[in-house]
Amino acid sequence: MGVQRRKIGDREVYPVGLGCMNICHAYGPPLPEDEAKALLTRSLDLGYDFLDTATIYGVGRSEELIGEALGHRRQEYFLASKCVLDVRDGERVLDGRPEAIKAACEASLKRLKTDVIDLYYLHRPDPNVPIEDSVGALADLVSEGKIRFAGLSEMGAEDLRRGAAVHPIAAMQSEYSLWVRNPEIAVMQACEELGTALVAFSPVGRGFLADPPADPANFHETDMRVRAFPRFRPEYYSGNLPLLAEAKAMAEEAGCSVAQLAIAWTLAKGPNVLPIPGTTNLKHLEENHRAAEVTLTPEQVARLDAHFAPERAVGPRYNRIGQATVTTEMYDFEKANG
């Protein structure tokens, strides 16, 4: 029967996409240009057909690499990018004004060497601009044929509903994994009601849900994980390691790697969920793609749900600065600890 494809808007894609952030920044030095292009090319050859990037990834470099490496194969992949979150004069900024969104889209189209972006997200909510105004700009871009679908990222159910009242929202991108369950509070239900795909970023827990797990002791000095994601800090990290024992046992039972188990779990959470793991490693690229072939039983999913109950994760998901930029719902125990 093969792997069942999943829908974003009226398009169907392979259920595991490729996140294109860490080929350029975030988890250490960027890949050398030739290696990054080889990885992107290999992704299409393996069967990936949903690539997800953003203006801020490498300050435009991720988009440029996709355009340079894959522009001549544009018809082979569904392309997503993001606006609002950017870097100006070395500082991160949020700019959700309609004119800024439209200017950002024009710049992304040039870097991506394409005349249309399939899915264009608001990367973060701009607290100074009503969500209706920002989504209105996306609606204009759809009408102009510059983007096909509108999306939101790291926003809560209220923002999703307000945005969808202006224009259909084809996808909500949220961090979602065994280690981060926040979309289950309200976003997943809103997505189901509105026919919105849930694009799950960091489904492998930023490397934590791998075997061996990402070890902060080995991180490069430019790796943002310890700085931005407290669960990787020494005072929290060791407390999370016991969670992996059950994941390893379950992976052996399912005949897959821990990373594949984590990705397969997100796929099991609903037919509208599409995980987009990122990697700089060709072996992991292939391993992540094959996770779509792993089928977990309802009993296995339930066991993982219970073992990775949200309150068992040690430490906040984001630091205070990061948390302040998102409207994704928080659990009561997170608010109490915050």
Following DSSP, what letter does each residue of 161-230 receive, concatenated? HHHHTTS-EEEEEEE-BTTB-GGGTTHHHHHHHHT-EEEEE-TTGGGTTSSSPP-GGG--TT--HHHH-G
CA triple 171-202-278, angle to 5 deg: 95
Residue 57 bears catalytic tag? yes
| Contact by Cβ (8 Å): 327, 155 | yes
Residue 5 burial by Cβ neighbours in a 10 Å radius (0-12, 13-18, 19+): middle
135: its two tokens: 């989504």
Q: Which of 27, 57, 120, 318 is catalytic?
A: 57
The CB density around residue 171, as the number of other CB atoms within 10 Å, is 25
Instruction: Say if residues 98 and 137 touch (Cβ distance below 8 Å).
Output: yes
Question: Running DSSP on this structure, what letter comes out for residue 278?
Answer: B
Task: Tell the burial category of 297 from Cβ atoms under 10 Å away from its Cβ (0-12, 13-18, 19+).
Answer: exposed
Which residues does the annotation mark as catalytic?
57
